[in-house]
Amino acid sequence: TQGWVDTICYLVFFFPPLIAFLVVGWDYFLRSYGQGERIVTSPWMPIVYPFKFMLPLATPLLLRQGLSESMKGGWAAGSGEGA
């Protein structure tokens, strides 16, 4: 039972928001990169887009971890073992 609950929760509550976060984060990065955005409150005026690139870069790693966990839940549900 726990395996089914884990698998369904990952499919319903984990993956859709992360996919949306990936799309929004990518657009956020592209806009910053296209404008050559810099932090104007600093005398050094560093570029910002490498930091904003970390959002779409980290999201596939979270998706990969979620895939692993949902596969583990699916395996537990199919084999009857506890997760």
Q: What is the percentage of the chain residues whose pLDDT exceeds 70? A: 96
pLDDT digits (tens, 9 = 90+) for 16-41: 999 999 999 999 999 999 999 999 99
Measure the CA–CA gap between 22 and 62, rounded to whole angstroms: 10
pTM, rounded to two decimals: 0.82
Kindly compute the dihedral angle of the four CA atoms of residues 35, 50, 58, 28, in this order, to the nearest 10 degrees. Answer: -10
pLDDT of residue 80: 78
